[in-house]
Structure 1
Amino acid sequence: MKFASEETVFVTIAIAAIVSLQGVTSQTSSSEWHRLDDAVYLVDGITRVRYDEAQSLCQDLYGANLARVDSDKIQDFLTTFISPPLEDTRCFSIGCDDSEVEGQFRWLDGTPVIYDGWARRQPDNNGPGDQDCACLWSSTVNYRHGRWDDAVCSLDRYLICQKGIYNFRLTIPRPNPGFANVYCAVDVDIQGEALSPDDVRVSIG
């Protein structure tokens, strides 16, 4: 690679997560990751935990977060993994809540929720306790399938985790302009799959 200045070169290597797109069944395995664009999603229809525990589980076990469902594309994609509808009691925690200010739902990074994925007449903060945490329904009752509901955060629910592609940033100092040799070695095991050239992107900037 040839560089035109004496400034430090930053090389970003983005390794897309390789996932096993297994067939969708009524029992969603907690080990199945599904890729959409530059993110992968885990739809866990086995584990049931409180909202705060769900976020901790995503972070501690997978280096992920509860899913950010901020477009029709993402919502429709995730809905395919709870289709045909599972038992009506299943609602999957996603990463938004209005715990700080009632009625103002925000994503985990604090940005306001603009995309409207709510089921009919939701959110309603109805029922015992504050319904501050959003979840994605598998139920068909009242047209809820694939739509959001606001739920009590302390109740055990299923969960959807999300994480982005694997990014590695290397800093390569060089005292003189000219050519530099860049060697990249990555030791990563993702679902036992091999990386192909299309899964590795190198950018200079």
Structure 2
Amino acid sequence: MTSTNWPRLGLEQNYCRNPDGSSGVWCYTTDPNKRWERCHVPVCAGSATAPRCQSGWRKYNNHCYKRMTDKASWSTASSRCKQQGAILASVNNHGENNFIGSLISNARDRRLVPSYWLGLTKESGQWKWTDGSRVVYTNWAEGEPSNSMLWSLGQGENCGSMYTKTGKNIGWDPTRHTGQWNDNKCSSRFPYVCEKPI
């Protein structure tokens, strides 16, 4: 629809229109030779535009996620997400787990345990998410969470991560798969995934 086939409907007083359905906005002018023109104005009240994530963030179910490639301890990663107005990612269902798994699966990672921190931590023997929600969905790798005192050098494994690659950590370990979870000592330095609502 254009201004020529959208005759005066008594709407001229409202300067903000989108008569052709495009993403741009048409403005009514006071020039009798040019009644309508494209203009740069804020989105009109009532115009429905889908919420978007900031550049570098990816959308899934009304949340934005970002893969952070700097390596940090779990607590430092949590603080860095907060600086972005976000939290370490929580996983509430299979779909969200697959989305985060795909977000990190192409990460270059040659470490023995290729993982990204999630917002999963253990307090008083209970796993919980940093957003305060209960852990209702899990995707632990076989034999996890193990709380290995050997691997954690006696510190315990109280923070959760997600594997980025399918393979074995060491020869006798069961195969781990991309998207499965592992518990690690919280002082380990991994990249991480931040999440925030749109």
> Which TM-score applies when normalising by structure 1?
0.62
Partner of 2:75: 52
Q: Which has the larger radius of gyration?
A: 2
Partner of 2:165: 139
For residues 144 and 117 of structure 1, the distance between their equivalents in structure 2, rounded to whole angstroms, comes to: 10
Matched, 1:125 2:142: no
SS in 2 for 1:105: strand
| Alignment: residue pair count | 138
2:193 to 160, 172, 188: 160
For residues 49 and 121 of structure 2, the distance between their equivalents in structure 1, rounded to whole angstroms, comes to: 31
Map Cα deviations across residues 61-109 of structure 1 (whole Å, 9 max, x no partner): x1000001111111111111223464352311111111x212x101113
For residues 61 and 132 of structure 2, the distance between their equivalents in structure 1, rounded to whole angstroms, comes to: 23
Deviation at 1:114, TM superposition (A): 1.7
For residues 82 and 107 of structure 1, the distance between their equivalents in structure 2, rounded to whole angstroms, comes to: 19
SS in 1 for 2:96: helix
Deviation at 1:112, TM superposition (A): 2.5
Matched, 1:92 2:129: no
For residues 56 and 85 of structure 1, the distance between their equivalents in structure 2, rounded to whole angstroms, comes to: 22
Percent identity between matched residues is 26
Say if 2:105 and 2:165, in contact at 8 Å, map to a contact too.
no
Instruction: List gaps (5 residues or longer) in structure 2.
Output: 1-47, 168-174
Partner amino acid for 1:138? T
For the aligned residues, what is the CA RMSD? 2.1
Deviation at 1:116, TM superposition (A): 1.4
More strand by percentage = 1
Partner of 1:106: 128
Higher relative contact order (CA 8 A, sep 6+): 1
SS in 2 for 1:75: helix
